[in-house]
Amino acid sequence: MVQELGYLKETASQTAGPYVHIGLTPNFCGIGGVYDADLGATMVNDKTLGARITVTGRIIDGAGAPLRDALVEIWQADGAGLYNSPSELRGAADPNFSGWGRCATGAEDGVFAFHTIKPGPLPFKDGRRMAPHISFWIVARGINIGLSTRMYFPDEGAANDADPLLNRIEHRHRVATLIAGGAAPNYTFDIHLQGEQETVFLDI
C-alpha cells in the first residue's frame, strides 16, 4: 500500500526584529559580560599592512531618517587585493588584517564607523580587474533578507570606469550611489533603502 505523504506548509517569514543589533553587538549597546569585545569591532592592529582609512555612514529609510538600530557588516580584500579566507587561492592574505567588520548604527545619530585599510584591486571571475571596493551587508527590523551592496572609492576614477560590476548597472545615474564621499583617509558612505537616492543593491 502506498504511504500517504504529509506536506508541510511554508513557515511564516520574520523580520530581523528590533533586537538584532543588541544580540550581535552587545558591548556597543552597553551590555557587558557577553564578549570581551564585540565580534568584528577591530579589523586592524599595529602590524597591518596598507593605508589606514575610516569609513562612516548612515542607513537612511524612505522618509530620509537614519536607522538607529541597524547592523552593518563589511568584507574586503587586504591592501594587496587578497581575501583572508580559506577559499583564497591566489596567495596568502595579510595575517594581521581580518578582512571583516561589524558595527551597529548609533542610537543617537544612526552613524556606523569602520577603521580599516584601503583594499587593493582584485580580479573578476572572468579575469578582468575590479576596482578597489568594500562589500556591505545590512540588516534591520523591517528587512526580511539582508541587503548587499558595495562601496567604491572616489579617488579611483579610471578603475571605477573599467569595473565589471559598475558597468553592468543599466541606469548610469545610479552608479553614484555606490561611490563614497570624502577623501582619504576619511570616507563617507550613506546607504539609502528607498527613494530617489536608493542605493544599488546586489542579488547575491
Check residue 48 and report its DSSP letter.
Answer: -
Alpha helices (H) along 35-156: none
In 3D space, the residue among 194, 202, 200 whose CA is nearest the CA of residue 60 turns out to be 194
pLDDT at 14: 64
pLDDT at 74: 98
Distance between CA atoms of 172 and 178, rounded to whole angstroms?
11
Tell me how far the alpha carbon of residue 183 is from its chain's centroid: 19
pLDDT for 13: 65
- Give the pLDDT means over successive 10-residue stretches in the chain (204 positions): 73 68 85 90 97 97 92 97 92 96 91 97 91 96 88 97 96 97 98 95 90
For position 171, what pLDDT does the model report? 94
In the chain, the amino acid numbered 148 is S
Asked if residues 81 and 92 have their Cβ atoms less than 8 Å apart, the reply is no
Residue 111 C-alpha cell reads as 552613524
Phi, psi of 20 (to 5 degrees): -60, -40
Torsion, CA 127, CA 129, CA 133, CA 138, rounded to 10: -30
Q: How far is CA 107 from CA 46, 96, 115, in A?
A: 30, 31, 19
Find out whether 52 and 185 touch, Cβ atoms under 8 Å: yes
* β-sheet bridge partners, residue 28: none
The confidence score (pLDDT) of residue 157 equals 96
What lies within 8 Å, CB to CB, of 91 at 6+ separation is: 80, 82
Place of cell 544599488: 200
pLDDT score recorded for residue 23: 83
Quote the pLDDT of residue 145: 86
Q: Which amino acid is at 166?
A: L
Q: Which residue has the cell 592592529?
A: 45
The SS3 call for residue 176 is helix
List the domains of the chain with CATH numbers: 20-192 (2.60.130.10)
